[in-house]
Structure 1
Amino acid sequence: MDIATLRNVLDHRVEISPVTGRPRFKAMHNDVLFYIERLGGSAKAAAALGVFHADVELWIDEHHVPQPFADQIHKLTGAYVSLIREPPTVVIGDACVWPPVRSGDIQMKLGLPPLAENGSTTLAGR
């Protein structure tokens, strides 16, 4: 998904991550970023969770925290696990969902295909 399309559809809610250069929701729309900031930022969160700083930045960009770490963040901050496991998704056109839906359970419930090799959720051929 290119940033121009995202900005056209989502207007003020999307920014480019200064660390990874990937599109992400801005802080007011990014629950993962909100709770990582409550832990003191991505570097402190990485140390507290025992993961690489780059992994935390990827979670922020993708709005998705893997389950074991979502549980830890819940214990440390009171975050709702459902909010940091899967973000609200936006269907763009008739072919793409952004951000990608990573949860296999949610993919099954919504009838979505598994992630493509490039990490995206595409609806083409549904």
Structure 2
Amino acid sequence: MDIATLRNVLEHRVEISPVTGRPRFKSMHNDVLFYIERLGGSAKAATLLGTFPADVEQWIDEHHVPQPFADRIRKLTGAYVSLIQAPPTVVIGEACVWPPVRSGDIQKKLGLPPLAEDGAIRVYS
């Protein structure tokens, strides 16, 4: 999804990540970013969680923390797992969902198809 389209739909709620260069929700709309910052930032969170900083940055961009990392973040910060796994999903036009929904359970609940090979969700009517 290109940033111009996202900004047209979401206005001030999206930004380009200074680390990855991908679009993401801004901090006031991004619960994953909020709790990662509470852990001391991406590098420190990665160390605490036993993963790579690039993985943490991807979680922030996609607004989804996979299990069991979400449970560990909950234990360390008190975060609600649902807030760090289910982004406010936006359907743009009739064919695109942003950010991609990574959780199979949430995909089923929303009636979305699985992720494409390129990591996108495409909805065809």
TM-score, normalising length: structure 1? 0.97
- Report the residue type matching 1:98 in the other structure: W
What SS does the aligned partner of 2:91 have? strand
The Cα offsets for residues 70-97 of structure 1, whole Å up to 9 and x where unpaired, read as: 0000000000000001211011111111
Pairwise CA RMSD: 0.7
Is 1:36 the equivalent of 2:36? yes
The Cα offsets for residues 16-65 of structure 1, whole Å up to 9 and x where unpaired, read as: 00000000000000000000000011111001001001110111011010
Matches within 5 A, 1:44-63: 44-63=44-63
Cross-structure match for 1:99: 99
Offset at 1:110?
A: 1.9
Give the Cα–Cα distance (whole angstroms) in 1 for the partners of residues 84 and 31 of structure 2.
6
Is 1:122 the equivalent of 2:122? yes
Q: Which runs of 5+ in 1 are unaligned?
A: none
Give the Cα–Cα distance (whole angstroms) in 2 for the partners of residues 71 and 57 of structure 1.
18
Matches within 5 A, 1:81-92: 81-92=81-92
Give the Cα–Cα distance (whole angstroms) in 1 for the partners of residues 110 and 61 of structure 2.
22
- Report the residue type matching 1:11 in the other structure: E
Q: Which runs of 5+ in 2 are unaligned?
A: none
Cross-structure match for 2:76: 76
| Identity among equivalent pairs (%) | 84
What SS does the aligned partner of 1:67 have? coil
| Equivalent residue pairs, number | 125
Offset at 1:12?
A: 0.3
Give the Cα–Cα distance (whole angstroms) in 1 for the partners of residues 65 and 28 of structure 2.
17
Cross-structure match for 2:108: 108
Cross-structure match for 1:65: 65
Give the Cα–Cα distance (whole angstroms) in 1 for the partners of residues 34 and 103 of structure 2.
21
| Superposition misfits of 4+ residues, deviation over 6 angstroms | none
- Report the residue type matching 1:50 in the other structure: G
Give the Cα–Cα distance (whole angstroms) in 2 for the partners of residues 111 and 57 of structure 1.
27
